[in-house]
Structures are given as C-alpha cells and as structure tokens.
Chain A
Amino acid sequence: MRGVDIDVDAGEVVGFLGPNGAGKTTTLRMLTTLLEPTAGEASVAGHDLRTDPVGVRRNIGYVPQSGSSLPIARVGEELTDHAALYGIPTAVARARGEDLFARLDLDGVWTRKVESLSGGQRRRLDIAKGLVHQPPLVFLDEPTTGLDPQSRANLWVHVSDLRDKAGVTVFLTTHYLEEADVLCDRILVIDHGEIVAVGTPDELKRRVSGDAVLLRLTDATQVPEATRLAAALPDADEPGVDGDVVHVRIPNGASALPGLLRELDRAGVPLAAVEVRRPTLDDVFLSLTGRSLRDAETPAETELVGAR
C-alpha cells in the first residue's frame, strides 16, 4: 500500500472502487486490524489503529469477501457464538439476531444449517453477524461478488437501509461500477494502492468531459478514414480504435452525431452500429488510470443501436 488518505463521515456509504489487485482488500484488512499498517496513522471509529486495535474491533463490523460462517454450523448459533465473542449474552444476541434476520429477510432460517442457505441468504447472514454488536461502522468486502443479479439488487436495498434506517456508516469495496453508482454517497477510486480520485458519483462523472461516441464499421479497413472524420469534429478528443470500433469523446455527442453520420456516408464508410454513451464511472476510471474496469467486455458489444 502506498499513500492512502481516507476521511469518512458518520452515516454515509463510502465505496472503495478499483480493479482486482488494486489494494482494496489490503486496505480494508488494515482498517479492520487484520493487517498491521507498515506506516502512517489511522483512527477508525474514534480509536487509533496502532495503539488501540481492540477499541477499533469493538466498534466495527467486518464482512469478509470469503464469507464468515461454517457450512456445517447452524445459522442461529453462528450468530450467537459470534456475538458471545463481544461479550454479548446469548439471550440478548438471540433477540437482536431475530430482529436483524427480520430486517434482512432471513425469517425462518434460525435452526437451519448454513450450507442449506442460498448465496444471497448466506451473505445476509454474514452481514447480520457484522451488525450483531451494533457497531457504528461496518466494512463490507465485495459484498455482492458471486451473487446473481437479483440477489445483488436485493442486497443493495439492505445496504441502503443500513444507512437510512439504522444510521450505520458503511465502507464497502467493489469492482462493480453499477454498485458504486447506486449505493455510494462517496467513492474513492483506488489503483495500484493509491487513491486516484475522491467524490460523489456525479462529481466523478463530471470530471470526464463529454460523451463517448462509438462507431462500429462494417469494413475494418476503413478505420483510418472513420478515425480522420471523427477527429475532425469540433472539440473532439483523440479517437481510439478497438478492432472495427472507433470511439471518440465529444462535449455533446447526441447533437454532433447527425453531422458525423452525414460525413461518414459521404465518404462511403458504412456503419454496422453506433452508440452515444453518457460518461460512466468506468470512463472515470479509464481517464484516471488509463485502464478499463471492464477488461473482459468490449464496450461496443453491450448496447449498440443498429443504424444501417
């Protein structure tokens, strides 16, 4: 980890966004006292990380990426056993647990085995464990990784509720842009162990000037001609090429498009598809780091509008 400076206010959802291997989990493990910081200072939930790790532990909840419950154990006992390590009597833990289960849509699983739960239920059990000692601050490491889209959306609602209804400060890591966009009040973009940007999702998006216009050509040999025409647009950035797709960033993509299409038509460059994209957090990430978060997907393949 290199220079990471983080200030988090009470009652907000803060997202730590970065690609796999950017240092998100390492930072989280330091903030949750699992790793000793090599240098620097941090106060977490009002307690110094170095001099008072036990004070930090008392005041935070942590939901690791790997999960936190043993498959062969029973759901309710996983919760009360965990609470007992905070000195919470079983009866109190049980009452709190039943309340948490009701809030997290986990009714009726108390006596079941952990292995019988669905992925989404298991993740919510982990979150209940992270909340049973009523910490003001909870860390969620990649909370929706491995969940199906429906469970993911469902979990987003629960995480928002933590802030809105329970007043808990949530610090989460994610490599999903939608997740950071939907959930977070503030986003810290991390790359190579360094925070490269901080802001609300909107602030970050505003940093990227203009929309992306993507042109997919029917004939890849015409890429140079299309690139020349795109570059000639007023206020256009240097166009980029990805196979048979030419992409260019211009301030108002939608109104520049008709003119560009006419020019292309006149030059005899037929298009297979065209898309105008509003800036996304991925663009923010790309402009900050020069790399895309969606390394596996090509942007043109997702939502191109046919235009022949």
Chain B
Amino acid sequence: MNETLVVFRRAMRLSLRNPTWVIIGLAQPILYLVLFGPLLKPLAAQLGTGNAYRLFVPGILVQLGIFGALFVGFGLIAEYRAGVIETQRVTPAPRTALLMGRVGRDVVVLLVQAILLTLVALPLGLRAPAGGVLIGLLVVALLGAAFSAVSYAVALTLKSEDALAPLLNAVAMPVLLLSGILLPMTLAPGWLERLSDINPLKHVVDGVRAFFRGDFSGGTAWWGLGVTAALVLLGFWFGTRTFRRESG
C-alpha cells in the first residue's frame, strides 16, 4: 500500500511538472462541449429531452473516462525505454503497486478534468440533479481506472509506440461510434442499435444519461453502473496479471 503511494506521488509530480497532456486531455472535451454541443440544442425535442446538455455531457464524460485513460500507456513506454520500469521491478515493491500507483494518478487527473468539464457545462445550459452528476463523475473515475490499467498492460506487452498507436486507434474508432457517446443510439436503425448493444460502453453511456435525468429507479442506470464495475474488475485483472508476469 505504501509503495502504491510512492509510485502515485512520483507519477503525480511528473504530471504536474509536465502538464501538456493533462491540458490537451481537458481541452478536447471542452471543445466538444462548446463547438459541438450547440448543434444539439435545436434537436433536443427530437432527442426526447428538454435539455440537450443533459444528454450530451454524460457522453462527453464517458468519452473522457475512456480516451483520457486509454492513451496513458504511451507514458509507460517512455518510462520502460528509460529503464525505469525495469529498475522498479528489481526493488522489493509489489509489482501491483507499480501499476496501481500510476492508475491512481490517472484517476485523480481524470476526476479533476471531469469536474472542470462539468463546471464549464453549467453556464452552457446543463441542468441535472446533483446526485446524478456525482454518480456520473464516479463512473468517469471507474472507467478511467479500468482503461488506464488496460492501457498499461497492453503497453508493457507491446513495448513500442509504433505498435500501440495503431492498435488503440483501431479499437477506439468503432467503440466510439457504437457507444452512442455523441448521439444516442435510439436514433439508430434497428440493426445498428442491436449492434451497439454488444458494446458494453453503450450501456455505460445510457446509465450515466439515466442518472443525469434523475432516473434512479430504472434498470438502465444501475445496469450501466454494473457494467462499469465489471470493466474495472476485468481491467485490474488484466493489468495486475501483466505486471506480475515477468516481461522480457
């Protein structure tokens, strides 16, 4: 546990000293909010909501949780190349601490970004119950933890930016399109909606939207939260397995 904090502290300090990616990671969703959000306003009624941002912000938050975390593996490859990972693996620190300290940093960064994003959305016109928004932020943190663990595990396996970048992009595009992050999948024709049902992230987005509507009693909200928890378990299992295994 102590070692996890040591790794967390170091990772956090490095992020704060070199905040370029943290700032870019925040700027992108804000651009979506400001430059894409207004397009949805006239469509609000058609989308079945009185407040376009109540529909759009959950999608952008989930997107932040996934894509903010998915690319952290690049930083790990840089550390690996510098010999940092190897050197840390020769210390008595548990190997899971080397993973979890970094994941912890990513979750904190994502939470701060998500809170700022939500605050920016308020003057733009977001109206949602506080409880729903808080659970939305929790989902961002959990998604971030899951995807950052996966990203580190994949990075440690591939050990090359040239292999990681095309893989992430190949996965990210269809996942994004089939998750209803930008527009709800209820607008989709039947075949496309059924296809998107396979994507667990679609259920996460639907869940957060339900929470933002204040719809705590329906199955959609809790089903989304359950899927998120399952993703965390899966991500941590994959991540710790990779970090424990010796890697040549």
Residue among B9, B81, B83 with the highest chain A CB neighbour number at 10 A? B83
The main secondary structure of chain A at its interface with chain B is loop
Q: When the two chains form the complex, which single residue of A54, A72, A85 contacts B17, counting CB atoms closer than 8 Å?
A: A72
- How distant is the Cα of A67 from the Cα of B246 in the complex, in angstroms? 19
Tell whether B3 is near chain A: CB-to-CB under 8 Å.
Answer: yes
Q: Find chain A residues with CB under 8 A from B90 CB.
A: 32-34, 57, 60, 62
Query: Interface code B90-101, partner A: CB below 8 Å = 1, 0 otherwise?
Result: 111100000000
- Report which residue of B7, B18, B82 has the largest number of chain A beta carbons within 10 angstroms of its beta carbon: B82
Q: Check A34/B14 contact, CB under 8 A, given A57-B91, A85-B3, A86-B91.
A: no
Q: Does B217 contact A (CB under 8 A)?
A: no
Chain A residues whose CB sits within 8 angstroms of the CB of B79 once the complex forms: 70
Q: Identify A85's interface contact among B82, B92, B246, CB under 8 A.
A: B92
> Are the C-beta atoms of A87 and B246 separated by less than 8 Å?
no
Given contacts A67-B82, A85-B3, contact A62 B87 (CB under 8 A): yes
Query: What is the 8 Å Cβ interface bit string for chain A, positions 73-93, against chain B (1 contact, 0 not)?
Result: 100010001101111000000
Are B83 and A58 neighbours in the complex by a CB distance under 8 Å?
A: no
The distance in angstroms between the C-alpha atoms of A60 and B89, with both chains bound, is: 12
Complex CA distance for A34 and B91, rounded to whole angstroms:
10
**What total of chain B residues lie within 8 Å of the partner, measured CB to CB?**
26
- Is residue A69 within 8 Å, beta carbon to beta carbon, of the partner chain? yes
* Bound-state Cα–Cα, A87 to B82, Å: 23
Question: Quick check: A34 and B6 within 8 Å, CB to CB?
Answer: no
Residue in B7, B82, B92, B246 whose CB lies within 8 Å of A71: B82
Contacts of B3 in A (CB 8 A): 84-85
A70 lies within 8 A of B78 (CB): yes
Is B88 positioned at the interface, with any CB of A under 8 Å from its CB?
Answer: yes
Q: In the complex, how many angstroms separate the beta carbon of A156 from the nearest chain B beta carbon?
A: 22
One digit per residue, 1 when the CB lies within 8 angstroms of any chain A CB and 0 when it does not, for chain B 19-55 equals 0000000000000000000000000000000000000
Is B10 touching A68 in the complex (CB atoms < 8 A)? no
Chain A residues whose C-beta falls within 8 Å of the C-beta of B83 in the assembled complex: 64, 66-69, 126
Q: How far is the CA of A101 from the CA of B3 in the complex (A)?
A: 25
Query: Which one of A36, A72, A73, A82 contacts B87 once the chains associate, using CB atoms below 8 Å?
Result: A82
Question: Quick one: CB contact mask for A43-74 with B, threshold 8 Å, 1 for yes?
Answer: 00000000000100110101010111111110
Beyond A68-B84, A85-B91: 18 further Cβ-contacts under 8 Å? Answer: A32-B90, A34-B246, A36-B246, A57-B90, A57-B92, A62-B87, A64-B83, A64-B87, A66-B82, A66-B86, A67-B83, A68-B82, A68-B83, A71-B82, A77-B13, A84-B6, A85-B6, A87-B92
- Listed by A's residue number, 15 A-B pairs whose Cβ atoms lie within 8 Å are A34-B90, A34-B246, A57-B90, A57-B91, A64-B83, A64-B87, A66-B86, A68-B86, A68-B87, A69-B84, A70-B14, A70-B84, A77-B13, A84-B6, A86-B93
